[in-house]
Amino acid sequence: MALVKIREILDGKYSDQTVSVRGWVYRKRQGKELIFLVIRDSTGVIQCTVKKANAPTAWAEAEKLTIESSLTLEGTAKPDSRAPGGFEISAEAVSIIGLAEVFPIAKDKSEEFIRDMRHLWLRSRKMNLVMKVRAKVLEYAREYFEKTDFIEVSPPMFISAAVEGGSTLFGLKYFEQDLYLTQSSQLYLEILISSLENVYCIAPSFRAEKSRTIRHLTEYWHMEAEWPFSDMNDLMQFEEGLMEHICKRVYENCQNEFKELGADIAKLSQVTVPFPRITYAEAIDRLKAKNSSLKWGDDLGYEDEKILAEEFGKPFFVYDYPTVIKAFYCRTYRDRPEVALSVDMMVPRVGEISTGGQREEDKDILIQRIKEQGLKPEDYEWYLDLRRYGTVPHAGFGMGVERLLVWMLDLDNIIDAIPFPRTTRRFYP
Ligand code: 4AD
Ligand code: MG
C-alpha cells in the first residue's frame, strides 16, 4: 500500500485505491455510527470517515483521537463531491502516533492569543500556505538573479558602523566592544562589487523601529543587490524586471495557495515592464492636488505613499529625492546637490517596498556628506578605501521580503509574512 501525500490524493492520483497517509487531526466530528476526521499533512487537508460497523478497530482508535494528535490512517481514497477538495478516505485502519492534550487554539481564537501561541499557530492552513508562497518568492528571486549573472554572497550581521542612521540601530556587547546589528548589507555588497561585480544577498536586517504599523518589523529579510558601472536607469530596469519575473512565476505556480488564502492573484498578471516612474517633485504636486500640506524637502509618510499608490494600482517608482532626507552614501547630481539619485518602489496598500539608488563614488564628496550627517569619516575608512582604489559608478537596492508578501498576499499585517515575527513587543518563541 502506498504511503502518499494528501495533495496527491486530491489531485486524483489514487482514486479508488488503498492509501496510507500520515499527519495530524485537523478537525473531528463524532456521530453514533460515523466519525468524520479531517487530516492534514504539509501538503493539504482531506476528509476521512470511520464507520463503526465496517472498521471496529479503527473506530476504537478514532474515538480516542483529539485535535492535533498525530496518526497514520489507511483506507480507500474515493472521489466525493460533498467532501471539501473532492476526495474522501474511507478508513480501514487508524493508528495513533502521538495523542495530543487539549489543543489551546481550539478553544481561544482571539488574535492576541493566537499571537502568543505562534509556535502552534504555524500549523494553521493560513501560515502553512503563506510560508510556501514565501519560499517560492525567494526561489523565483534567486532564479532571476541567476539568470542575470548575479552571484549570491553572505554578508555579516555584526557590524561596527551604521548604514541607515543611528535612530534605528540595535546595539550589543561584543565581548568588550560595542557593536550593532546590521540595518542593511549594502555597504558590504559595495565592497564585493570590486571583486565579483554583480552581487546580491537575501539576509536579515534589523531595525530598532518603534513604529507599530502593519509594515514594520524589528527583524526582517532583506533582498539586496549591487553592481558596478550602473546608473539610475539600469537600476530601475533591473528592479522592474525582477518584480515582473517574481510576479509571473508566482502567478503560474501558486494558484492553489492564493485561492485558499482568498488572495487576489490577478493583480500579479498585471505587473509588466516598464513600471510608471514619477519624480519626488511630481509626487509632491500630486499630493498637494489632494489637499496635502507637504512641501519639497519633507519625507513621504505611509499615508502619502498609500495615496500615490492608489492612483497607480500597481507597482511604480518615485525617484530624485531631496538629499536632506537621504542617507550619506547617496550620489547627488553634480549640478543640483540638493537632489539625490535615490529611488523607491511602491505598491498599493503597503507603499514603499524597496529603496535603491546610485552611490557616491567620489571620495571627497563622500567625506563631506558623512560629516554633514554628523557621522565620523574614521568610522568609514574601509568604505572610503573603495573610492581610493579603482572607484566606479555603481548602484543597488534593497527590498523588504515581508513587505512584498504583504502586498502579494493581501495580508492585513506584516507579522503574518514571516514565521517568527519580531516586533517591539513580540519575540516569543
Ligand atoms: O529603505 P531602506 O532603509 O533602505 C536600505 O536599507 C538601503 N541600504 C537598501 C539598499 O540600497 N541596499 O530599507 C530597504 C527596504 C524598505 O524599502 C522596506 O521594504 C524594508 O527594507 N524595510 C523594512 N521591512 C520591514 N520592517 C522594517 N522595519 C523595515 N525597514 C525597511
Ligand atoms: Mg527606504
**Residues sharing a CB contact under 8 Å with residue 102, sequence separation 6 or more, in sequence order:** 66, 67
- The CATH number of the structural domain formed by 118-417 is 3.30.930.10
pLDDT at position 23 over 90 = yes
Atom index in ligand 1 nearest the CA of residue 220 equals 25
Strand order from edge to edge, sheet including 316-322: 151-152, 199-206, 219-228, 394-400, 351-358, 339-347, 316-322, 277-279
Return the bridge partners of 407, or none.
none
Please report the pLDDT score of residue 338 as a whole number.
97
Within the chain, all domains assigned CATH 2.40.50.140 are found at 2-98
Tell which one of 199, 243, 403, 413 to mutate to probe ligand 1, the residue whose CB is within 8 A of the most ligand atoms. Answer: 403
pLDDT tens, 221-264? 999 999 999 999 999 999 999 999 999 999 999 999 999 999 99
* Whether residue 107 has pLDDT greater than 80: no
Task: Compute the average pLDDT of residues 23-44.
Answer: 97
How far does Cα 107 stand from its chain's mean position?
A: 30
DSSP category for residue 332: B
Q: Whose CA is nearest to atom 1 of ligand 1?
A: 355
**Which ligand lies nearest the alpha carbon of 353?**
1
Q: Is the pLDDT of residue 105 over 90?
A: yes
Question: Has residue 429 got a pLDDT over 90?
Answer: yes
Compute the average pLDDT of residues 122-145.
98
CB contact at 8 A, 202 and 223: yes
| Alpha carbon distance 15, 94 (integer Å) | 20
Average pLDDT score over the chain: 97
Burial class of residue 266 in the structure, from the number of CB atoms within 10 Å of its CB (0-12 exposed, 13-18 middle, 19+ buried): exposed
Q: How high is the pLDDT of residue 226? A: 99
**Using one digit for the tens of pLDDT, what is the confidence trace for 156-180?**
999 998 888 888 999 999 999 999 9
Å from CA of 303 to ligand 1 middle:
17
Residue nearest to atom 2 of ligand 1 (CA): 355
Q: Which pLDDT score, from 0 to 100, does residue 1 have?
A: 79
Residue 380 pLDDT grade (very low, low, confident, very high; cuts 50, 70, 90)? very high
Predicted TM-score of the model (pTM): 0.97
How does DSSP classify residue 295? -
Task: State how far the Cα of 113 lies from the Cα of 426, in Å rounded to an integer.
Answer: 12
User: How buried is 268 (Cβ within 10 angstroms: 0-12 exposed, 13-18 middle, 19+ buried)?
Assistant: buried
* % pLDDT > 90, the chain: 96
CA 221 – CA 226 distance, rounded (Å): 16
Q: For residue 200, which ligand has an atom nearest its CA?
A: 1
pLDDT (average), residues 26-49: 97
**Angle between helix 280-288 and helix 302-312 axes, rounded to 10 deg:** 90
Q: Say if residue 281's pLDDT is above 90.
A: yes
Q: Which of 137, 150, 163, 184 to mutate to test the pocket of ligand 1 (most atoms within 8 A of CB)?
A: 184
What's the CA-to-centroid distance between 261 and ligand 1, angstroms? Answer: 27
Write the pLDDT tens digit of every residue in 334-377.
999 999 999 999 999 999 999 999 999 999 999 999 999 999 99
Instruction: Give the model's pLDDT for residue 161.
Output: 87
Residue type, 60: A
For ligand 1, pick from 187, 205, 349 the residue to mutate: most ligand atoms within 8 Å of CB.
Answer: 205
Closest-lying ligand 1 atom to the alpha carbon of residue 224: 12
- Identify the pLDDT of residue 82: 92
For atom 9 of ligand 1, the residue with the nearest CA is: 398
Separation CA 139–CA 226 (nearest Å): 19
Name the segment(s) of the chain with CATH classification 3.30.930.10.
118-417
pLDDT of 180 reads 97
**Distance, CA of 174 to CA of 171 (rounded, Å):** 9
C-alpha cell at 370: 558623512
Question: What is the Cα–Cα distance from 61 to 340, expressed in whole angstroms?
Answer: 69
Q: Can you give the pLDDT at residue 165?
A: 81
**The domain 2-98: what is its CATH number?**
2.40.50.140
Give the Cα separation of 149 and 222 in Å (integer).
20
Q: What is the DSSP letter of 359?
A: B
Q: DSSP 3-state assignment of 422? A: coil
Burial 76-87 (b: 16+ CB within 10 A, else e): ebbeeeebebeb
Instruction: Give me the percent of the chain exceeding a pLDDT of 70.
Output: 100
